[in-house]
Structure 1
Amino acid sequence: MDKMIFHLLESTLPSPQENLALDEILLKMLATGDIPPTLRLWELPFPAVIVGRGNKLGLNVDYDACRKEQVPVIRRMSGGGTVLLGPGCLVFSLLIPFTEHPGIKESIEFILNRIGQSLQLRLLEEDRIELAGISDLTVGGLKFSGNSQRWIKNNCLHHGTILYGFPLEQAARLLTKPEREPEYRSGRTHLEFMTNLPLEREAIRSALTEEWGASAAEYDLPKDEIRELAQQKYEDTEWTESR
């Protein structure tokens, strides 16, 4: 893994649905050998609620508040909890081919330990980053990063969020108390549980690209396929409301 060469793709497509479609297509392209190991960085310029594949809408999202604020709600293909994206929330997507499947828990720990250590180098000593729950990163006991995965055989899509300048009160308005929560949350509200990592965006970007040795590369993205998948799946209310 240390010798694996990662390419960097910094690309935010116009809609949240297209961004989710791109992640799904990149995973398929990784599995067929059409792209190398990749670190993708993206950030929506407006808020959007992204629901985990197995989440129940009524137990995670305040639909009325989302409609009132015209915030789209979309279901992704990976597991994990419901998140609110938008300005101040950097999303990273790691596409990694493993020689054999290490297990979900093991792969999450491997990836998040590396990311956490790289970010830690850029923080004050008293700001301690820790892996908490199944797939969260915390600083000072407060969550700033949530993560989830999707696999095709031994090929992994690991995507996660890093809050650095996010309006946390927006999450409190648009998301309900989750149906499942890690033990360390201890019943805390969103505002009591979440925080922004005290780093600038460029410092976070630098930590991620340096840790994975990722350098910018040209990608011939299948734009028509991305748009078709976005329309047929991620813009389909039947898919979003399937649970």
Structure 2
Amino acid sequence: MHGEYKVPGGKLVAVDVTVQDGRLAFVAVSGDFFLEPDEALDDINAALTGLPAEADAAVLAGAIDAALGAEVTMVGFSAESVAIAVRRALGRATSWRDHRFELVDAGPQHPAMQMALDEVLARQVGAGARNPSLRIWEWASNAVIIGSFQSLSNEVDLEAAARHDVTVVRRISGGGAMFVEPGNTITYSLYVPGSLVEGLSFAASYAFLDDWVLGALADVGIDAKYVPLNDIASPAGKIAGAAQKRLVGGAVLHHVTMAYDIDADKMLEVLRIGREKISDKGIRSANKRVDPLRSQTGLSREAIIGAMVAHFDGRYGLTPVPLDAGTVGEATALAESKFSTPEWTARVP
């Protein structure tokens, strides 16, 4: 059996393996990585040989790390990446091309419905009722979206939010607050099965799931890099932030908000800790707009979204699908029963 894993920003790792009596009987690791000394490759193969075929990625990576001495240098790959390639060879983990991705067109939605759609679509993918999907958000009204664990009162000036007609909602993923007016950000969600990130640490899965968007940004002239844990930045500064939620049903919800052209004055009125949060973003004065995508590309928001969709389609394939009535009904009910309620929004007061 053969498995491959391309390390985001790194090298390709390939593994050929056979299984006898439930154990790895033959393992051959290869790839375009760098490894010193040469004999370490034999040590990696030997460390994996004889392990149970059901061993998870953490066990496989741990065996490799235990077998390698301090003098071994691995460049462009890691024990974790070898373990993922093994799991793929054994059919325990999947790659992008093992799936048929759909582009879900939900149209403009109000804040609570946006939150509900994320949860419902992720659950459907986890249950096998929907193919892995990409959704690019369109907004019907202004919003502040706070992270699952943020304090409402600490993060948002509710009087300023009301004054600017901003609806405050809480999402199911962690991370920081997002300030949104229709047309000033580009937000997308990926709904994928857990098998796609099987073996990846939480931190590594962020870069893995956003590797395609770095390529899309390069297509429009932005030299973007992933900055751990969850930021995307260019030499001019931060462009985007990511958040993620792994649901009990096995699905992964991964979403990213990129700044297209944000009114920083208004954002700092509504978000209480806005000045502190942007203190390391190269913004000394709030009297300006935060516009990395607009200023660095000169393109309209729609043109950038088009480039993103085209890049994803070119890499993995992408079939547009409308939002079906059943999903709309389920999300509408959830928006009313959960995401519009004070109990949820202020669950961390």
What is the TM-score with the length of structure 1 in the denominator?
0.86
Q: CA deviation at 1:166?
A: 3.1
Asked whether 1:223 is paired with 2:319, we answer no
How far apart, CA to CA, are the structure 2 residues paired with 1:117 and 1:164?
A: 17
How far apart, CA to CA, are the structure 2 residues paired with 1:232 and 1:179?
A: 34
- Aligned partners of 2:142 and 2:180 also within 8 Å: yes
- Aligned partners of 1:59 and 1:179 also within 8 Å: no
Letter in 2 for 1:91: T
- Aligned partners of 1:48 and 1:71 also within 8 Å: yes
The equivalent residue for 1:55 is 150
Q: CA deviation at 1:30?
A: 0.5
User: Which structure has the greater CA radius of gyration?
Assistant: 2
How far apart, CA to CA, are the structure 2 residues paired with 1:191 and 1:34?
A: 47
Q: CA deviation at 1:20?
A: 0.8
- Structure 1 range deviating more: 88-97 or 6-15: 6-15
Asked whether 1:108 is paired with 2:206, we answer yes
Matches within 5 A, 1:161-172: 161-172=257-268
Q: CA deviation at 1:80?
A: 0.8
- Aligned partners of 1:142 and 1:195 also within 8 Å: no
Please give the per-residue CA displacement for 1:86-137, whole angstroms capped at 9, x wherever unaligned.
22212211111242252221110112232122211211xxx43222242121
Q: Secondary structure at the match of 1:176?
A: coil
The equivalent residue for 1:17 is 112
- Structure 1 range deviating more: 197-206 or 41-50: 197-206
Matches within 5 A, 1:19-168: 19-87=114-182, 88-99=184-195, 100=198, 102-123=200-221, 127-153=222-248, 154-168=250-264
Please give the per-residue CA displacement for 1:59-87, whole angstroms capped at 9, x wherever unaligned.
22122211222211111111110101222
Q: Secondary structure at the match of 1:35?
A: coil
How far apart, CA to CA, are the structure 2 residues paired with 1:17 and 1:81?
A: 17
Q: CA deviation at 1:10?
A: 2.0
Q: CA deviation at 1:139?
A: 2.7
Q: CA deviation at 1:147?
A: 1.4
Please give the per-residue CA displacement for 1:157-191, whole angstroms capped at 9, x wherever unaligned.
11111222333332122112269959955896767
Aligned residues: 240
Q: Secondary structure at the match of 2:252?
A: strand
- Aligned partners of 2:111 and 2:141 also within 8 Å: no
Matches within 5 A, 1:172-191: 172-177=268-273, 185=281
2:305 equivalent among 185, 196, 205: 205
Letter in 1 for 2:171: R
- Structure 1 range deviating more: 202-211 or 62-71: 202-211
Letter in 1 for 2:120: I
Q: CA deviation at 1:48?
A: 0.5
How far apart, CA to CA, are the structure 2 residues paired with 1:187 and 1:64?
A: 25
Identity value in percent: 27
How far apart, CA to CA, are the structure 2 residues paired with 1:191 and 1:133?
A: 29
Letter in 2 for 1:159: H
Larger fraction in helix:
2
Q: CA deviation at 1:240?
A: 0.7
Q: CA deviation at 1:201?
A: 1.9
Unaligned runs of 5+ in 1: none
Between 1 and 2, higher relative CO (CA 8 Å, sep ≥ 6) is seen in 1
CA RMSD of aligned residues (A): 2.7
- Aligned partners of 1:136 and 1:147 also within 8 Å: yes
How far apart, CA to CA, are the structure 1 residues paired with 2:327 and 2:283?
A: 44
- Aligned partners of 1:59 and 1:178 also within 8 Å: no
How far apart, CA to CA, are the structure 2 residues paired with 1:2 and 1:234?
A: 31
Q: For residues 86 and 48 of structure 1, do their structure 2 counterparts lie closer, same or farther at Cα, with a shift above 3 Å needed?
A: same
How far apart, CA to CA, are the structure 2 residues paired with 1:156 and 1:179?
A: 32
